[in-house]
Amino acid sequence: MTSDHGLRADALYTLRVRPRSEKLLDIGFRQLTLALASLVAIVLLAILVTVFQGSREAMASFGLSFLTTSAWDPVNEQYGAFVAIYGTLVTSILSLVIAVPLGVGTAIFITEDLIPSGLRELIGLMVELLAAIPSVVLGLWAIFVMEPAIRPALELLHTLLGWTPFFDTTPQGPGMAPAILILVVMVLPIITAISRDALNQVPIELRQGAYGVGTTRWGAIFAVILPAAISSIIGGVMLALGRAMGETMAVTMIIGNSLNFNLSLLAPGNTIASMLANQFGEADGIQVSALMYAALILMLLTFIVNVLAQWVVRRLSLKY
Amino acid sequence: MTSSTTKPASSNSALFDRRPLHFDSKLPRNRLNGLFTFISGLFATLAVLPLVLVLVYVLVQGARLISLRLFTELPPAPGLEGGGIGNAMLGTVVVTLIASLIAIPVGVAGGIYLSEYAGKSWFGQVVSFGNDVLAGVPSIISGVFVYGLIVASRIFFGQSYSAMAGGIALSLLMLPTIIKTTNEGLKLVPNDLRLGAYGVGASRFVTISQVVLPAALTPISTGAVLAIARAAGETAPLIFTALFSAFWPEGIFNPIATMSVLIFNFAIMPYQAQNELAWAASFVLVMMILAANLLARWLSRLSKA
Amino acid sequence: MTSSHRPQSSTNGKQSTEDVCMSLQNVSISYGNFEAVKNVFIDIPDGRVTAFIGPSGCGKSTVLRALNRMNDLIPGCHLKGQVLFDGQDLYNPRVDPVEVRRRIGMVFQKPNPFPKTIYENIAFGARINGYSGDMDELVERSLRKAAVWDECKDKLQKSGLALSGGQQQRLCIARAIATEPEVILMDEPCSALDPISTLKVEETMHELKRSYTIIIVTHNMQQAVRVADKTAFFNAEAVEGGSGKVGYLVEFSDTENIFNAPAQQATQDYVSGRFG
């Protein structure tokens, strides 16, 4: 433009040409966010390297038999993590066996129009708040309230099923069974929240289709709505499994931290996380390395479960 | 209405069981329906029950111990009566503050990178995947890591256990949540807003910092509040990083007491005074965390209105 | 226009001798405080195709969904008046909506096959309706009746979602007829389809009216002319003092009359394309 209107505008707007400083700021900001975002990858690698380096001594000494032996003997420096690995798997899997029906059932109850919407939201809110209660507070509650309250029930289990190796010890306070129950309390909100989201995403058209051919409400839920939501629910269950495996405080406080192997669920046990919490602060020498080795195993277990969870959600998800 | 007798739609309808329209509660399907509704209601009750019981106990056991002394005094030596949890409250604030000062700027910047710059690039996907993995890393592992990196190596002025180490361990747990909520919050900002800013000649930095970020402030602050609340209650990363202290905090490079570690230590002590302080600390912690959660819900409702 | 409109269907000469399949007696439907449609009287003849037409928001879909109690799924939806079917009021508290839907099937606006195989999509409804015959045969017959057999026969074990939109909709029609209902309700079944699929679905309807009573809601007046024996025209009017509009039935008659010699000026205006 050559009119004098254009000339005047050029005089008034002094930043028609971007100054260098603005371009530098633009680039600098981008690089800054990039650098800080990379921190995630760096931290993750650093965790892996630190734990791996720390566990090399124990790996060299015990090799893979670390996974299958149950000696934990600081005097003779013999370490095997079988009790802790077994405890981690048993407590987390059994807690899910209980929590999945409870969580999915609750999610159905608060999404499928069975009760007034006010009540639905209240239950949803309460389950969400349950997730916010710190693990250590649940542990305190488990020690002083839950465990004494359920002990008669556990004693009954012992009386009835004491002939099986899984219940052949008398319940005496801390043990695997109360640890499993407190894990149920901790993973329930995750399963409920994810199942609830999954059910809410099932389109109304699909529900109408099911009711339209004359199903009952539960007929529609079992035959159409749950199958449509199943991949997200399974993903949520896997995430909960990862959480249960790594859960530390409440379990440490109620599982009894026994280093001896016992099949009985009523006996004290141990998990990798609770072993770390109990011993890491006071350990030295090769015991630190053995604990790092156990930590590495825990990391790998949770990593596999979490990646599988994401894979399930992506691969199995339906077009709905 | 001429009550037309139902004539068979086709010869085949004899193969279907047809019943009168009236509701028959004795039908197997209606019985099953009622049964399942009952079961799911029972499950929902069981799911809600722990929260109610925990809250009731924490309120009953904790609230009666609330006094001024609780906030101003140190915990008693084992076997003695009385005392408070003043140092642990202060310690929780200090450690959580350190964690927030690290995790919030890093997390928000990481979220900005993922949402505004990364696009579908491989690096963005790596960061995004790494963030999901980091979110799944058990909290105790973060303690083990910081122990190996900072505590055992004594890199802070030769100090081993410290509030700083505890804060760093907590920040690792907060980071994934903040990155994720920031990223998701920014993605909800309509693209038209960005185009509008570019359209008047704004630079990328100005667009992000003055247009996009303010538009996503509510979801980001909601995520930050929730992450802080979660960090304040975390114990596992602190037990061998921040450790514990029976005294008032002595700077951020020394061991520090926190409420969560206090609950853990005092719960398993065979002394009534310590057990009671554990309940009192639980009460304070739970109230703080519930308040933060309700604040976060209120914030997110604010953005929807 | 006032609410005193009484469409003269039942007094309309030769039709009065026909069997009535469903009868709406002074039906009004509201969502919460909002009245969607009011004072509808219609006698739907047996074994015919009846079309509901009218501008958006006139309540025609709402009335359709009331006929098999699909509105029960919408919170706050309430119906006054009577819907008579097989000598009973469907809204009698003793009536089981599940039983109603087994006898009055429905095809929806958007194709909504279940996330199951094509075979299971058909067999599911039949099974819950207590079908005791040969399932393979029923699946084939239903798919044939819905004119989608040729496209499906080689992939019965594939997901119903793998079909195209038009095929999915015909699968949904097959699903509805597999339960052998007495009435099939169709809520704008072609609105999400391309013209060729629409044509196929209309051919399917011509096949179906030999065995079923069909009630179809359509936006498309040509479609009503092509498929329907009888047509009901709905319109909406502003409520005095209110903010929304309430739907009502303007006229119900033979399709020919509605399009060529409507009794009401509003019908004339609508069918000649002056509004809607």
Do C99 and A213 contact (CB within 8 A), yes or no?
no
Do B99 and B252 contact (CB within 8 A), yes or no?
no
Q: Which residue of A has its CA nearest to C100?
A: A214
Which residue from A161, B12, B81 is spatially nearest to C138, judged by alpha carbons? B12
Which helix (H) or strand (E) segment is A188 a member of? helix A176-200
Identify from C103, C122, C137 which residue to disrupt to test chain B contact, counting B C-beta atoms within 10 A and taking the largest count. C103
- Domain ranges (residues) in chain B: 68-304
Tokens, residue A82: 């079988």
Specify the length of chain B in residues.
Answer: 305
Looking at the partner chain, which of A113, A204, A214 has a beta carbon nearest the beta carbon of C101?
Answer: A214
**Residue C12: predicted pLDDT:** 43
- Give the β-pairing of A72-73 and A78-79: antiparallel
**Residue B303: predicted pLDDT:** 65
Using the beta-carbon criterion (under 8 Å), do B140 and A273 form an inter-chain contact?
yes
* Of residues B45 and C146, more confidently modeled: B45
A vs C: CB pairs below 8 A = 76
Q: Which residue of A has its CA nearest to C109?
A: A205
Q: Quick one: how far is CA A38 from the chain centroid?
A: 24
C9, pLDDT greater than 90 = no
CATH 3.10.450.50 fits B68-304, yes or no: no
Please list every residue in chain B whose beta carbon sits closer than 8 Å to the beta carbon of residue C180.
Answer: 9-10, 12-13, 15-16
Tokens, residue C154: 């080689």
**Residue C215: predicted pLDDT:** 94
* Of residues C130 and C185, more confidently modeled: C185
Position B14 confidence tier, pLDDT thresholds 50, 70, 90? low
Looking at the partner chain, which of B58, B106, B239 has a beta carbon nearest the beta carbon of A137?
Answer: B58
**Residue B149: predicted pLDDT:** 87
Residue C247: how many CB atoms within 10 A of its CB?
A: 25
Residues 6+ apart with CB under 8 A from B44: A105, A106, A109, A110, A123
Which residue from B46, B32, C73, B53 is spatially nearest to A109, judged by alpha carbons? B46
Query: Considering all CA atoms of chain B, what is the largest pairwise distance in Å, rounded to the nearest integer?
Result: 97
Distance in angstroms (rounded) separating the CA atoms of residues A243 and A230: 20
**Residue C14: predicted pLDDT:** 43
Which of the residue ranges A5-14, B236-245, C97-106 would you say has the lowest mean pLDDT?
Answer: A5-14
Dump pLDDT digits (tens) for C136-173.
999 999 998 888 888 888 999 988 888 888 889 889 98
pTM of the model: 0.85
Q: What is the mean pLDDT of residues C99-108?
A: 89
Helices B122-136 and A226-246: crossing angle in degrees, nearest 10, is: 70
C180, pLDDT greater than 70 = yes
Q: What is the mean pLDDT of residues C114-134?
A: 87
Distance in angstroms (rounded) separating the CA atoms of residues A159 and A169: 10
* Of residues A23 and C184, more confidently modeled: C184
- Contact of B25 with chain C, judged by CB distance below 8 Å, is answered with no
Please list every residue in chain A whose beta carbon sits closer than 8 Å to the beta carbon of residue C103.
Answer: 214
The CA-CA-CA angle for residues C6, C7, C12, to 5°, reads: 125
* Of residues B83 and C27, more confidently modeled: C27
A25 to chain C nearest CA, in Å? 50
Alpha carbon separation from A21 to A114, B62, B109 (Å, rounded): 62, 57, 21
B168, pLDDT greater than 80 = yes
Which residue from A271, A296, A249 is spatially nearest to A83, judged by alpha carbons? A271
Residues 6+ apart with CB under 8 A from C126: B16, C135, C138, C178, C179
C11, pLDDT greater than 50 = no
The mean of the pLDDT values for chain C is: 85
Using the beta-carbon criterion (under 8 Å), do A50 and B149 form an inter-chain contact?
yes
* Of residues A283 and B19, more confidently modeled: A283
Interface of A with C (CB under 8 A): 113, 117, 203-216, 219, 223-224, 227-228, 318-320
**Residue B100: predicted pLDDT:** 96
Tokens, residue A272: 């990798």
Q: Which amino acid is at C53?
A: I
B147, pLDDT greater than 80 = yes
Touching C: which chains, 3+ CB pairs < 8 A?
Answer: A, B
Dump pLDDT digits (tens) for C220-239.
888 999 999 999 999 988 87
DSSP type of residue B63: H
* Of residues C240 and C217, more confidently modeled: C217
Q: Quick one: how far is CA B21 from the chain centroid?
A: 51
Using the beta-carbon criterion (under 8 Å), do B22 and C94 form an inter-chain contact?
yes
Which residues of chain A register pLDDT less than 50?
1-3, 319-320
